[in-house]
Structure 1
Amino acid sequence: MSPSPMLTIRPRTPADLPALAAALRAVHEAQGYPSLWPEDPQAFVAGHGTAWVALHAGQVAGQVILSPIPDPPPTWTGALTVPGPWLEVKRLFVTPRAQGQGAARALLAHAADQARQAGARAVLQVNERSAPAIALYDREGWQRLGTARGSWQEADGTVPTVLVYAAPA
């Protein structure tokens, strides 16, 4: 499937944060991401790193962040088996109304391309319960490297199992 001609990717600006927080709320209510609603949704969306937004029909539809990781997180021990340097794909989400338009795929490809241009490999972690995200990564040829413990707790106090992926070489 090709991205919608009404889809554009551009660098995120501070003015995008309120719309992205609202978009995240819609994603959380429809699909449970993030599994715990953040105390400060705009700070969660802002994250750390370089970010891009997807616009669908001129409206903010989602985002992705690339964040440097100088060393694999301790919970990834044994899972991150591709050589660095690495940039982690984080906070990738697309509103329910824009899903099926190629926005998530375009954001993911953009992040992987930006990592390659920076001389790094894009990697990510995903909760093993996030079937739509896992299907996207598998469909787009990302390499499943292994499993690890998440770095957060779920609402019930458990630590999720995550799958660690690397972008195609």
Structure 2
Amino acid sequence: MDIRPRTPADLDACAGALALVHTADRYPVDWPPDPHGWLTPHGLLRAWVAVEEGQVLGHVGLADTTEGPEVTRLFVAPAARGRGLAALLLETVRKAAGAPVLLEVSDEGRAAVALYERLGWRRVGSTRARWLNAAGEPALLHHYVSP
């Protein structure tokens, strides 16, 4: 398995992996009409993919926000979970940023919350999102900072 910078040629494979994640976890909550655009949000500085035998297994981006460097578009394909890929992708972002990194996660993402806390990320607050959770209410977002 290799973690390397994402290239434009990876976007179709990333969208395919994202579709599997969306079906399994409802992430993103609403399927984007333009998955390539969703994977390349405003403020994206860099993105990486976890690849094995030519197959994209995971993805992460580093975005520049008004609050500081932030993890964005992190996901691991369901069949590749349990191998430490999310931790490796997060560490890649932390090293590239050279400073503490922020992220936000929906309260519904219980496995992700548990992972971040196990890796030493610290919750620094919670807010309500503008989008709705599975219950049709504004989603509760938890905000974390890297160790």
**Shared fold by TM > 0.5?**
yes
SS at match of 1:46: coil
Structure possessing the higher radius of gyration over alpha carbons: 1
Residue in 2 that maps onto 1:61? 57
Q: Give the conservation status (yes or no) of the 8 Å contact 1:150–1:159.
A: yes
SS at match of 2:63: strand
Mapping for residues 118-129 of structure 1, pairs under 5 Å: 120-129=99-108
The answer as to 2:147 corresponding to 1:165 is no
The answer as to 2:109 corresponding to 1:133 is no
SS at match of 2:32: coil
Residue in 2 that maps onto 1:78? none
Matched residue pairs, number?
145
Residue in 1 that maps onto 2:10? 16
Mapping for residues 60-79 of structure 1, pairs under 5 Å: 60-70=56-66, 72=67
Between the aligned partners of 2:134 and 2:36, the Cα distance in structure 1 is 20
Between the aligned partners of 2:84 and 2:7, the Cα distance in structure 1 is 22
Identity %: 45
Q: Give the conservation status (yes or no) of the 8 Å contact 1:67–1:88.
A: yes
Residue in 1 that maps onto 2:47? 51
1:104 to 71, 86, 91: 86
Q: CA deviation at 1:106?
A: 0.5
Q: CA deviation at 1:98?
A: 0.9
SS at match of 2:105: strand
| Aligned Cα root-mean-square deviation (Å) | 1.5
- Structure with more relative contact order (C-alpha pairs < 8 Å, separation 6 or more): 1
The TM-score with structure 1 as length reference comes to 0.80
Q: Give the conservation status (yes or no) of the 8 Å contact 1:36–1:155.
A: no
2:74 to 81, 92, 101: 92
- Classify 1:65/1:20 alpha carbon distance in 2 versus 1 (closer, same or farther; 3 Å): same
SS at match of 2:138: coil
Residue in 2 that maps onto 1:82? none
Between the aligned partners of 2:121 and 2:19, the Cα distance in structure 1 is 27
The TM-score with structure 2 as length reference comes to 0.91
Q: CA deviation at 1:154?
A: 4.3
SS at match of 2:33: coil
* 5+ long unaligned stretches in structure 2: none
Deviates further, 39-48 or 141-150: 39-48
